[in-house]
Amino acid sequence: MTELTMAKAINAGLRAALAADEKVLLMGEDIGTLGGVFRVTEGLKAEFGEGRVLDTPLAESGIVGTAIGLAMRGYRPVCEVQFDGFIYPGFDQITSQLAKLTYRHEGSQSFPVVIRVPYGGHIGAVEHHQESPEAYFAHTAGLRSISPATPHDAYWMIQDAIASNDPVMYFEPKSRYQRRGEVDLENRGAAMHESRVVREGTEVTLVGHGAMVAVLLQAADIAAEEGTSVEVIDLRSLSPIDYEPILASVQKTGRLVVAQEAPGNVSVGSEVAATIAERAFYSLEAPVLRVSGYDTPFPPAKLEGVYLPDADRVLEAVDRSLAY
C-alpha cells in the first residue's frame, strides 16, 4: 500500500503502462514539458522522451484523428483533452470514426485509443472548464466509458483502459485530483467494468460515479447519525454498466437514489433509474429518485455550489424515498 493523490496515481499508472509496452504513446496539449495543466503527466516526457510523450497543437480533432491513425499502425495512443468543455471539436472523430471503425472492419482491426477527459465541477473555473459530458459517449456504441472515484481505481483503471483493444473514454473527476487515498500497487481489486459497493447499508441505496461518490459517502455518514442505514455503490463504469451489485442492493433496501453532477435529462443517471425500475420493479418500495445538476449550461463559478448536488440534496431525496 502507498498513499497518493489521484493525479499522482494516474501518473503512476501511465508510467507503468509506458514502461510495459513501447507502443504506448501519450498525446495532448501541454502534457510534455509542462506536465499537463493539472500536472498529471509531470515527469513522463523526461523519463520516456518526446517521441512517446508528445505535445500537440491546440486541435482536439487533430489529436484524435492522429491517434486513430497511430492505432491502425499498432500503437496504443493515450490522448488528453485538456478540459471537458474542449472535447467537442474532437467529438466527430470520436463518435463518427473511432467508435465505429472496429465494427466497420468487421472486427479485423482494433483501435486501442484511450481519451483522458478531466471533467466536472468544484474547481471554480470559467465557462467550458467544468462540464460533465460523459452521457454523450456512454450513449455511443463502440466506446467504453469509465470514471474512477479513488486513487486506487485511478491507478489500475488507466492501465486497464490502455490494455483494452477497444477505444476507452477515461473520465477523470478533476475535483478529486489532489485528494489522497491508499493505492495497492500489487492487487487490482474490481475489474474495469465492475460496479462496487463502497459502503453497506439496509434502507436506501445510493448510486453515483466519479466525484459524486465522495458526496454520497458524506450523505451516508450524516444519515447514519440520524439513524438511517444507507448503502453506497460506485458505478466506476458508465458503459457498459454493471447492474448486478445495484440490483442486489435494491432487492435488499427497496429504495434507490441515483446522483450525478451532470444534468439529469437523458443522462447516465436516467439510464440507471430506468433499468432498475424495469428489472427490479417488484423489489422497489418507492420510485427511483434522481439528484443531478440542473438542465442548464454550467453556471458562473460563484453559483456552482447551487448547481452541483451536495449531501443536503442527496439526503432530501433519501427522506422523500423513505416517506413512501
Q: Which residues are identified as catalytic?
A: 129
Question: How far apart, in whole angstroms, are the C-alpha atoms of residue 68 and residue 219?
Answer: 42
Q: Which of 77, 232, 256 is nearest to 167 (CA)?
A: 77
Q: Which of 196, 207, 193 is nearest to 291 (CA)?
A: 207
Query: Residue with C-alpha cell 458526496?
Result: 215
Q: Is-contact 174 308, C-beta < 8 A?
A: no
Instruction: For residue 138, give the C-alpha cell.
Output: 456512454
240 upstream amide cis, omega within 30 of 0: yes
What's the start-to-end Cα distance of the chain, in Å?
Answer: 44
